[in-house]
Amino acid sequence: MKNIQEFNNRKVPVICIDPSLEKYRDKTPFPEKLAKANEMLKTAKLPNKKKRN
């Protein structure tokens, strides 16, 4: 068992993932919104870079 000092010195947070969320792994929650977002990303362009002098 780890003591509190070891937990306090960690750089990565300690989290527990709820196992009941596993049922959503292969499902797309909002397929219509995902399709719309993908369509928008296909036509999106990055702005031109402006040089600063």
For the stretch 18-49, pLDDT in tens is 999 999 889 888 999 999 999 999 988 877 87
pLDDT at site 2: 66
pTM score: 0.44
Confidence of residue 53 (pLDDT cuts 50, 70, 90): low
Measured in whole angstroms, the distance separating CA 29 from the mean position of its chain's CA atoms is: 15
Contact between 25 and 19 (Cβ < 8 Å): no
List phi, psi (to 5°) of 51: -80, 135
First to last CA, the chain: 59
DSSP string covering 11-44, please? SSPP----GGGGGGTT--S-HHHHHHHHHHHHH-
